Amino acid sequence: MTEGSVDKLPAGASYAAAGVDIDAGERAVELFAPHAKRATRPEVLGGLGGFAGLFSLKGDYREPVLAASSDGVGTKLVIAQTMDKHDTVGRDLVAMVVDDLVVCGAEPLFMQDYIAIGKVIPEMVADIVKGIADGCVDAGCALLGGETAEHPGVMEDGHYDISATGVGVVEADSILGPDRVRAGDVVIAMGSSGLHSNGYSLARKVLLDWGKLDLSGHVEEFGRTLGEELLEPTRIYAKDCLALAAESDVRTFAHVTGGGLADNLGRVLPKGLTAELERSTWTPAPVFSMIAQRGRVERSEMERTFNMGVGMVAIVSPEDTDRAQAILTARHVDNWVLGTVKAGDAGAKGSATLVGDHPRF
């Protein structure tokens, strides 16, 4: 027999013996199916279990344009795995995807998730999918399907990574973007719910590796444990942004993720324009000051790594500023005027600059 033939395999070899438990995977599907079924829309055809999810693009669209976005949660997952709490990171995943879609004005239609895990623990997978379904319900999109892949020998038991791709739709003549922005426009900030899903490698290094802080320890400034603070889910702004775009003169949005406020806002500004943002208009939450102080992290590094308390930004016409703020306030979104768009160097790349100082930071 040639090397590698079946005669060389040990007696009783099986997929399960190699570390992949198909039965556990099927049990996981049974547990998370009720959660996934909650996250649907009328356009969804069929149910779970098909090789592909089907979605009928219904509606009176004139010239529909599909928008797509893919993302993950990053090393925030390490906190969830350490605390053995897995029912919130799915909301983070949805937020990171759908809040990118709405930047151009697209309504999120559906998502498909991917879970890579060292060993399928059905209850753990069900908790992850529960969070994804909760997030999809909040965003108004369907969880159209997904994949759970067991990776024995590659990932440790209890470890996992998650990602997703979302698809949205926007009318061609309603696409938001840099071409709509004008000098004199007003920048409105929407408050974040905390760190969201960026900067956790630095946060973990400062607070856990260097600071030796206990995730279960109560932190007076937070009013809860450190772990609870770090696992606070990313705010989902999708429906708020869509309502704002429908009811006021929004030029564009900027989702504040990796790279921070200035870099992400600069991505939606056209050449020759710059946004001047006033730090004095808000005070970042205590978690940001704790990281900065304990890690002696310079302000420039903090602002490039974290959202610093601003999760989403809307650029609106100056005439519609009050109306836009009233809409957000009515939707219970913390908001404030962050700055204005001004003329910069002709031909220079769009940019944003933070000026002044935060009070009590």
- Identify whether 235 is part of a domain: yes
31 pLDDT more than 80: no
**Residue 175 DSSP SS3:** coil
Q: In this structure, are 56 and 102 located in the same domain?
A: yes
Q: In this structure, are 139 and 225 located in the same domain?
A: no
Q: In this structure, are 90 and 215 located in the same domain?
A: no
6 pLDDT more than 60: no
- Identify whether 4 is part of a domain: no
Domains of the chain: total:
2
Residues in the chain: 361
Mean pLDDT of all residues in the chain?
91
Q: In this structure, are 218 and 169 located in the same domain?
A: no
**Residue 163 DSSP SS3:** strand
Residue 38: per-residue pLDDT = 81
7 pLDDT more than 80: no
- Identify whether 314 is part of a domain: yes
pLDDT tens digits along 211-260: 999 999 999 999 999 999 999 999 999 999 999 999 999 999 999 999 99
**Cβ-contact 270, 280 below 8 angstroms:** no
Q: In this structure, are 246 and 167 located in the same domain?
A: no
**Tell me, what amino acid is at 181?**
V
- The residue that leads in pLDDT, 116 or 25, is 116
**Residue 273 DSSP SS3:** strand
Among 122, 150, 174, the domain boundary falls at 174
Q: In this structure, are 23 and 97 located in the same domain?
A: yes
Helix-strand-coil split of the chain, %, nearest 5 = 35, 25, 40
Distance CA 69, CA 57 (A): 18
Q: In this structure, are 33 and 109 located in the same domain?
A: yes
- Identify whether 12 is part of a domain: no
- Identify whether 351 is part of a domain: yes
1 pLDDT more than 50: no
Question: How many CA atoms lie within 13 Å of 267's alpha carbon, on the beta-carbon side?
Answer: 17
Q: In this structure, are 303 and 221 located in the same domain?
A: yes
CATH number of the domain where residue 333 is located: 3.90.650.10
Among 174, 207, 239, the domain boundary falls at 174
Among 130, 153, 174, the domain boundary falls at 174
Domain containing 43: what range?
A: 19-174
Cβ-in-10-Å burial (0-12, 13-18, 19+) of 302 comes to buried
